[in-house]
Amino acid sequence: MLTHKVRVFLMAGGLFLGAAMPVHGQNLSDTPSLHVDEPIRPIPLSHEVDAKKVALGDRLFHETLLSGDNTVSCATCHIIDNYGVDNQKVSAGIEGKTGTVNSPTVMNSRFNFAQFWDGRAANLQEQAKGPVTNPIEMGAVWEDVITKLQGEPEYAQAFGELYEDGITPDTITDAIQHYEYTLNTVNSPFDQYLRGNDDAISDQQKRGYSLFKEFGCVACHQGINVGGNMYQRMGAFIPYFNTENTNSKDDLGRYNVTKNERDLHVFKVPSLRVAAHTAPYFHDGSVATLEEAINIMARYQLGHDITLQENKDIQAFIQSLSGAYIKAAE
Question: Which burial class, exposed, middle or buried, applies to 305 when counting CB atoms under 10 A from its CB (0-12, 13-18, 19+)?
Answer: exposed
pLDDT band, residue 276 (cuts 50/70/90): very high
Whether 246 has a pLDDT exceeding 80, the answer reads: no
Q: What is the pLDDT of residue 330?
A: 52
Q: If you average pLDDT over residues 168-177, what whole number do you get? A: 98
pLDDT band, residue 23 (cuts 50/70/90): very low
CA gap 234, 128 in Å, rounded:
26
CA gap 36, 41 in Å, rounded:
8
Question: How distant is the alpha carbon of residue 265 from its chain centre?
Answer: 21
Q: What is the pLDDT of residue 19?
A: 25
Beta-strand runs (E) in the chain: 5-11, 14-19, 46-50, 185-186, 231-233, 266-268, 324-325
Q: If you average pLDDT over residues 257-269, what whole number do you get? A: 97
pLDDT per residue as tens digits for the range 104-155: 999 999 999 999 999 999 999 999 999 999 999 999 999 999 999 999 999 9
CA gap 326, 308 in Å, rounded:
35
Q: What is the pLDDT of residue 36?
A: 74
Q: Among the options 137, 154, 161, 164, which is catalytic?
A: 137
pTM over 0.85: yes
Whether 35 has a pLDDT exceeding 70, the answer reads: yes
Look over the chain and give the mean of its residue pLDDT values, rounded to a whole number. Answer: 89
Non-local CB neighbours of 307 within 8 Å, separated by 6+ positions: none
Give yes or no: 137 in active site: yes
